[in-house]
Amino acid sequence: MKQATRHIALSAPWIDERDEELVLETLRSGWLSLGPTGPRFEELVADAVGARYCAGVSSGTAALHLSMRLVGVEPGDEVITSPYSFVASANCAIYEGATPVFADIDPSTLNLDPAAVEAAVTERTKAIVAVDIFGYPCELDSLLDICERHGLRLVEDACEALGARYKGRPLGSHGHPATFAFYPNKQITTGEGGAITTNDENEHELLVSLRNQGRLETSSWLMHGRLGYNYRLDDVSAALGIGQVERLDSILAARAAVAARYAELLTGVDVDPPLADDDNHVRSWFVYVVKLPEGADRDGVMQRMADRGVATAPYLPSIHLQSYMRERYGFREGMLPVSEDASARTMALPFHARLGDDEQDYVVETLRAVL
């Protein structure tokens, strides 16, 4: 095969002049961490998602880890989550000595199936980590109902879903802790970074202490009231985040337009497009994932796309079949058939706010040809 003449990347951040100015301003201020920029960013994120409080942290993974501490997950507990997610959704429970328990997903939403969650509840279950995969809101009301009936806490892994809406209200505004992530492939980026939103002042104070080495609000710099971490979001990253979140609406609209154009171009191509929105679920576009027909050689398709200069990714492998999970817990194929089937057939296409029309045309032409 000859060398591809073009390369279309899977994702790309959208950085503009205002972002650059804000970062430069913070650099020149000399206040690179624990300055005034972090709280400004946090306020904007809280406003954007309709939450009372937002704690910025160093990554989405840090946000998930702290939310385990927040809801009191301890050694010996079980935490139910989705196998069809990024590993951090399950790792956060392991960090606290708890056991991740996977419930299967719904084949159309690719999010947790509430009936499977209910069936997975035991006396040891402490919490549910519900993921909004690919920016599509999970079944919050059913999951909250399960939590209420069994005395569990819900943590929402909205790391891929900033700006999505469930029953008309943004994710993050529904009362329980929600986590967000700002890696460069996300809707908005801070380089590395994340956040936890809550509506409870005490919970927010605990998060602020935990991310800053367990310092108490009243204690001096070298006095620590609890076991904490350095999960702070620095001010340079937060400055970039301010520029990004200021134009969240236009970024989301641009991503939605690219997704809508993919849906049109893919008419007649033998793949299932992502699930469309309905009255209760409005997606925030994170990645554009198609499902190949049963029996398709997905890895071969990806290789032939790569040969023609189009990056794709096998979004997402099932977490329970990752090697460390098999070794640690004895998980194996066949345990979670819906997730495993999705993992074998789903594939992310190049997707970001400024993907050009000609690039999109080329991606779809290439996919049609290699299929």
Q: Which of 86, 262, 285, 315: binder of ligand PLP (CB under 6 A)?
A: 86
85 binds ligand PLP (CB under 6 A): yes
If the CB atoms of residues 82 and 360 are measured against ligand PLP, the closer one turns out to be 82
Position of minimal CB gap to ligand PLP: 60
Cβ proximity to ligand PLP: between 146 and 196 the closer is 196
Q: Which stretch binds ligand PLP (CB under 6 A): 155-163, 165-173, 222-230, 247-255?
A: 155-163
CB 140 within 8 A of CB 174: yes
Is 80 exposed, middle or buried, given 0-12, 13-18 or 19+ CB atoms closer than 10 A? buried
The answer to the question of residue 183 lying near ligand PLP (CB under 6 A) is yes
Quick one: which of 197, 204, 188 has its CA closest to 237? 188
Decide if residue 73 touches ligand PLP (CB under 6 A): no
Under the binding rule (CB under 6 A), the answer on residue 160 touching ligand PLP is yes
Our CB check for ligand PLP shows the closer of 26 and 89 to be 89
Residues 285/263, Cβ–Cβ less than 8 Å:
no
Of the pair 183, 362, the CB lying nearest ligand PLP is at 183
Strand ranges (E), the chain: 53-57, 78-81, 99-102, 125-131, 153-157, 165-166, 169-170, 178-181, 194-198, 281-282, 288-291, 346-349
Count of other CB atoms within 10 angstroms of residue 50: 15
Kindly state the DSSP code that residue 220 receives in the 8-state scheme.
-
- Answer yes or no: are the C-beta atoms of 286 and 259 closer than 8 Å: no
Q: Does 177 bind ligand PLP (CB under 6 A)?
A: no
Q: Is 159 in the site for ligand PLP (CB under 6 A)?
A: yes
Binding segment for ligand PLP (CB under 6 A), chosen from 35-43, 98-106, 139-147, 154-162, is: 154-162
Considering the rule CB under 6 A, would residue 59 count as an interface residue with ligand PLP?
yes
* Cβ closest to ligand PLP, residue 155 vs residue 290: 155
* Residue 156 binds ligand PLP (CB under 6 A): no
Question: Residue 321 gets which letter from DSSP?
Answer: G
> Cα separation of 101 and 371, whole Å?
36
88: contact with ligand PLP by CB under 6 A: yes
Residues 199-238 that bind ligand PLP (CB under 6 A): none
| Preceding amide of 316 cis, omega within 30 | yes
Q: Residues in the site for ligand PLP, rule: CB under 6 A? A: 59-61, 64, 85-86, 88-89, 131, 157, 159-160, 181, 183, 194
